[in-house]
Amino acid sequence: MSTVNLLQFDKAALVDWLAQAGHKAFRARQVMHWVHQRGVADFEAMTELARPLRAWLLEHACVRALPVLAEQRSRDGTVKWLFDVGAGNAVESVFIPEASRNTLCVSSQAGCAMACSFCSTGAQGFNRNLETSEILAQLWWAEFTQRLALGLGDGERAISNVVMMGMGEPLQNYGALVPALRVMLDDDAYGLSRRRVTVSTSGVVPMIDRLARDCPVALAVSLHAPDDALRDRLVPLNRKYPLAELLAACERYLAFAPRDFITFEYCMLDGVNDSPEHARELLALMRGRFAWKCNLIPFNPFPGSGLRRSPAQRVAAFAATLAEAGVVATVRKTRGDDIDAACGQLAGEVLDRTSRRGNRVVAIAASGAASAAIPGRTA
Ligand code: SAH
Ligand code: SF4
């Protein structure tokens, strides 16, 4: 008989599932403590659970992590994992330690259907949505391996922040995303505050509104252009949800958001969107709307993109133009670049199922080292 992976459940779902077999609601909290706070996968070791419940779990449940195909450590302490999600697909997660916080960048899909022109995940096409258990398995694995690696005791947390900025468009996998977010926030599990969990989206407008109602965590919006013509080219989803609609959704979200501003991500592409004129257009676009911050991400190149990173001076000038107008603009530091762990370089391995590319393994050139570790799978 197949067993249920407990990483699939948020608390409400676990309570329901246990109730079907007559187990009381408080047992769900105990099980969550063992699994998500102590990293225990072995039911025999969950000593405070009543013996009959342990026996029942042994028969019906499991706590199943994802197989690790490769782990790479950067000189700067960044760790990247390549996880096998079956049928020739793999996804990546990145642990980014800093002085004041440790952030985990989590994937939501195997590949991505949004096809942004500057993103290597987008270049691979799309295979499938990850399940809640596969999203949470990334966090579970990273939290408990890094707790050990950092010499932290029980009760101390390795990961202080989660960003849904790995592979995939999280708001295109809404049904699996929300229970995963709830477990991240749950005091009986990871207990992260809403401002320490960020969903990054290329702008799926109706789902921004649903997230506001269902689980309003911090929102980051991938803008990348100050006008529709340019954004249509860089982020094809803009043709469906143009800037006016996207910005209106951001404004609605603010009423629910854990912070009083929206973060816009802006990937700096040499000669494409990085001139002082673009910065002024962006200010004009946003004038009189709502509080925002801008996170400038120097483009991380990958083979075949045909795009170049903006020179540091141009990035600094862009940031200065925004700053002079009173907008907080930060330039994202590149982390883990010796292991291709930077934004937009996460390639994993994806068997593209969309008609755009047909049914074949798409090259994963950007993650050469990681993909080379999968025997017989390098394209
Ligand atoms: N799909 C979501 C989240 C994943 S991408 C989104 O698009 O927001 C996380 C961030 O990395 C996004 O802002 C994305 O635009 C940016 N990004 C993608 N490719 C990049 C690249 N090659 N260089 C720098 N940033 C990139
Ligand atoms: Fe998908 Fe985000 Fe990459 Fe665009 S930038 S292709 S939405 S992962």
Residues 189-236 have pLDDT tens digits of 999 999 999 999 999 999 999 999 999 999 999 999 999 999 999 999
| pLDDT for residue 154 | 77
How many other C-beta atoms lie within 10 A of the C-beta of residue 194? 17
Distance from the alpha carbon of residue 343 to the mean position of ligand 1, in angstroms: 6
* Model confidence band, residue 153 (pLDDT cutoffs 50, 70, 90): confident
Higher pLDDT among residues 343 and 221, named by residue: 221
pLDDT in tens, 282-297: 999 999 999 999 999 9
| pLDDT for residue 360 | 31
Across 111-119, average pLDDT: 96
Across 73-101, average pLDDT: 95
In the chain, the domains with their CATH numbers are: 4-62 (1.10.150.530), 68-363 (3.20.20.70)
Is the per-residue pLDDT at 106 higher than 90? yes
Nearest-angstrom CA–CA distance, 311 and 363: 28
From the candidates 92, 131, 134, 143, give the one annotated as an active-site residue: 92
Q: Give catalytic status of residue 116 as yes or no.
A: no
Contact 217, 181 (CB under 8 A): yes
From the CA of 119, give the closest atom in ligand 2: 3
Dihedral, CA atoms, 234, 112, 315, 233, nearest 10 degrees? 0
Distance from the alpha carbon of residue 19 to the mean position of ligand 1, in angstroms: 41
| pLDDT for residue 228 | 98
Across 1-25, average pLDDT: 95
The percent of residues above 90 in pLDDT, for the chain, comes to 85
| pLDDT for residue 365 | 27
- The DSSP code sequence of 98-154 is -SS-EEEE---EEE-SS--TT-HHHHH-EEEEPPHHHHHHHHHHHHHHHHHHTT--T
Distance from the alpha carbon of residue 134 to the mean position of ligand 2, in angstroms: 19
Is the per-residue pLDDT at 243 higher than 90? yes
Give which of 242, 225, 234 is closest to 282, Cα–Cα. 225
Task: Supply the Cα-derived Rg of the chain in whole angstroms.
Answer: 21
Q: Give catalytic status of residue 343 as yes or no.
A: yes
From the CA of 120, give the closest atom in ligand 2: 3
Nearest-angstrom CA–CA distance, 95 and 73: 9
The percent of residues above 70 in pLDDT, for the chain, comes to 92
From the CA of 201, give the closest atom in ligand 1: 8
Amino acid at 56: W
| pLDDT for residue 346 | 67
Higher pLDDT among residues 304 and 200, named by residue: 200
**Helices of type H across the chain:** 11-19, 25-32, 51-60, 120-124, 132-149, 174-185, 205-214, 228-234, 243-254, 276-286, 312-324, 368-372
Across 169-179, average pLDDT: 98
Judged by average pLDDT, the poorest of 120-129, 300-309, 331-340 is 331-340
- Residues with a CB atom less than 6 Å from ligand 2: 112, 114-116, 119, 121-122, 168-169, 202, 222
Distance from the alpha carbon of residue 262 to the mean position of ligand 1, in angstroms: 16
| pLDDT for residue 349 | 72
**DSSP letter (8 states) at residue 278:** H
Across 48-75, average pLDDT: 96
* Model confidence band, residue 341 (pLDDT cutoffs 50, 70, 90): confident
| pLDDT for residue 348 | 72
Provide the token pair at 21: 């077999």
Give which of 30, 57, 164 is closest to 105, Cα–Cα. 164
- Tell me the whole-structure pTM to 2 decimals: 0.92
| pLDDT for residue 344 | 66
Contact 199, 181 (CB under 8 A): yes
| pLDDT for residue 371 | 27
From the candidates 105, 267, 343, 349, give the one annotated as an active-site residue: 343
Is the per-residue pLDDT at 358 higher than 50? no
Across 97-104, average pLDDT: 97
Is the per-residue pLDDT at 363 higher than 70? no
The H or E element that residue 258 is part of is none
Is the per-residue pLDDT at 376 higher than 60? no
Give which of 156, 151, 109, 106 is closest to 129, Cα–Cα. 109
| pLDDT for residue 332 | 87
Across 173-177, average pLDDT: 98
Across 41-61, average pLDDT: 96
- Cβ-count burial 70-109 (b if 16+ within 10 Å, e if not): bebebebebbbbbbbbeeebbbbbbbbbeeeebbbbbbbb
From the CA of 300, give the closest atom in ligand 1: 23
* Model confidence band, residue 120 (pLDDT cutoffs 50, 70, 90): very high
Contact 253, 205 (CB under 8 A): no
Across 81-108, average pLDDT: 96
| pLDDT for residue 369 | 28
Nearest-angstrom CA–CA distance, 371 and 379: 9
Judged by average pLDDT, the poorest of 20-29, 34-43, 326-335 is 326-335
Provide the token pair at 79: 């760790």
Distance from the alpha carbon of residue 123 to the mean position of ligand 2, in angstroms: 9
Nearest-angstrom CA–CA distance, 275 and 273: 6
* Model confidence band, residue 9 (pLDDT cutoffs 50, 70, 90): very high
Ligand that lies nearest to the alpha carbon of residue 170, given by its number in the listed order: 1
